[in-house]
Structure 1
């Protein structure tokens, strides 16, 4: 299977590339990135051709599948190129700058019958599938998610300072980290009445144009999901201040770090289950799964329509908590 990357200077590249190299039957045929220095260094860094233009890369390498990353402002354009070329792809979240943009490429993909996956990787194993199974028989009351990453300097350090520009990134901690949990909110509160009822954002820690803290509450009128994200904790990349809590009729579930879920039932019983609870280890699962689905003709686990639904909530949150987003023409 011939695989290429677009927008490959994105800091998530290793999360895809390292597991890809461990798979049998995969040929890395090329990478594209608008940065000419980065594109020129592709052969030395990754042993494959590099181009600054995605269309040129596709014509030169004729891949069977593309992992599309890059700046959020470029993602919808990349998707449109891949849809037009008829090439199956996975588009890094958030897939664009707002729900309108993502809904547009979702409609294009549907009209063309395109395979268009989105790495909402918490769907790929561990905590979310386990909770989906529990909630099928035990109704949700409340859920809260705290997921706070390290300071914004890490984006400068990885050559991705555009993440601190709302015109290129679409926002800050919410659009970047909160998207996984807004997807969970849509999964658990799927009704048409679900909306954001409270949104608070700030930039007191870093003083940047993007928010370094956000707290958003989503409700369907009866149940609520609260999502708290930030760029605050003095931690290395892929380390988080995290705490999840889910209250159900039959019990209470908590996560206080990566790798374990604690469950307390109403009769006093307790158990701890080992499983992935954060996004990073699930990219490896996603890479193998999405390539297998594309090969076998099965639909992606999460597609552009799922991302558009989560983005609808994100848009509502930013509308309540301006000015941490650049206004776009209607």
Structure 2
């Protein structure tokens, strides 16, 4: 598969480069709004830089991975969709849900392939739970807890993307940027519609324009409870931060701590360690799955519809919190 990485100044660019290599892709070019950045990225990685976005569209790629500033990504995404080129759309893809909905509607109209990399869908606890559910062994889902707490907001400035904590550009803080992974997890596991029971949002530590911590409590139509915890309050810049995906059903407890994952089941009294893929390298699994689906002309595992659903629920949380 031939791929173009468009938006090398995004803080996930190196992760996607690693993922493309791991999936066996041929990286046929890289691009960025800052041409000098693209050239530097290309030189460091022995790749070819593309000077203009028109060159991205003309590169004969099987997939364009688009990432960048939310004010310009929508126009680029629209161009890719209208060119009928499969798209992997990194977040944040827009400053508002309304702008993202316009892209979703265009994607539906064009019957476009638009994948969104929310890689914790491929984490060991989620995969093991879905396998148990497919075997009819999971039992009734009881609750889930999804926590992503990373280092302080200064890490975005260090990565050259300080705009992430500007609410007019990034559209929110820890909940919008990090909590979206947990919200997506809850939406993917829920039975029917999710109801927002309570929300707490604050910026007690860093006093930035956006929240540095948020906690949501959600309930699905079957009564399963989900909590989503997101923050920039981890007291270290160390990658990984404080991470946990916990899924509990009548027959199973699954816990993914990032560098360790376990599954306990009542029906066979088993307690096993699950194969681990670190959160930072789960993009490899996401990329590989995307290529496989493209090759068999299947829909993406995580679509722009999923992205809109998560963004909309986060909008509702901000509104409930008075933000």
The alignment's TM-score, normalised by the length of structure 2, stands at 0.88
User: Are positions 1:31 and 2:36 aligned together?
Assistant: no
88-97 or 178-187: which moved more? 88-97
Which residue in 2 is equivalent to 1:314? 314
Inter-partner Cα distance in structure 2 for 1:237 and 1:70: 23
CA distance in 1, matches of 2:198, 2:276: 29
* 1:20, distance to aligned residue in structure 2 (A): 1.9
Name the residue aligned to 2:227.
Answer: 226
Partners of 1:120 and 1:250 in 2: how far apart? 27
Instruction: Please name the residue that 2:149 is paired with.
Output: 148
Residue of structure 2 equivalent to 1:326? none
For 1:155 and 1:272, the matched residues in 2 are separated by 37
- CA–CA separation in structure 2 for the residues paired with 1:176 and 1:273: 30
Distance of 2:288 and 2:294 partners within structure 1? 10
SS of aligned partner of 1:19: helix
Distance 1:7 1:190, change over 3 A: farther
d(CA) in 1 for partners of 2:104, 2:238: 31
Question: In the superposition, relative to structure 1, how do residues 130 and 95 fare at CA in structure 2: closer, same or farther (>3 Å)?
Answer: farther
Whole-angstrom CA distance in 2 between matches of 1:247 and 1:296: 33
> Is the 1:55–1:81 contact (alpha carbons within 8 Å) kept by the matching residues of 2?
no
C-alpha separation between the residues in 1 aligned to 2:158 and 2:89? 23
Shift of 1:133: 3.3
**Deviation digits for residues 168-199 of structure 1, max 9, x if unmatched?**
2111111111112111111222413x221211
SS at match of 1:245: strand
How far did residue 91 of structure 1 move?
Answer: 0.5
Aligned to 2:113: 115
- Shift of the 23–265 alpha-carbon distance from structure 1 to 2, 3 Å rule, reads closer
Taking structure 1 as reference, are residues 21 and 134 closer, same or farther at Cα in structure 2, changes over 3 Å only? Answer: closer
Cα distance in 2 for residues equivalent to 1:17 and 1:283: 10
Gaps of 5+ in 2: none
Aligned equivalents of 1:99, 1:75: Cα separation in 2: 13
Q: Unaligned stretches of 5+ in structure 1?
A: 324-330
Distance 1:175 1:259 in 2: 26
Once residues 219 and 84 of structure 2 are traced to their aligned partners in structure 1, the CA distance between those partners, rounded to angstroms, is 38
Structure-to-structure mapping, 1:187-266, within 5 angstroms: 187-192=188-193, 194-220=194-220, 222-263=223-264, 265=266
SS at match of 1:143: strand
Aligned residue in 1 for 2:128: 130
Counterpart-to-counterpart distance in 1, 2:129 and 2:91: 22
Aligned to 1:54: 53
Name the CA shift for 1:45/1:315 in 2 (closer, same or farther; >3 Å).
same
Aligned to 1:67: 65
Distance 2:83 2:191 in 1: 33
**How far apart, CA to CA, are the structure 2 residues paired with 1:129 and 1:94?**
25
Q: Distance in 1 between matches of 2:252 and 2:232?
A: 31
CA RMSD between the two structures: 2.4
Are the structure 2 counterparts of residues 266 and 97 from structure 1 closer, same or farther at C-alpha, using a change threshold of 3 Å?
A: farther
Normalising by structure 1, we get a TM-score of 0.87
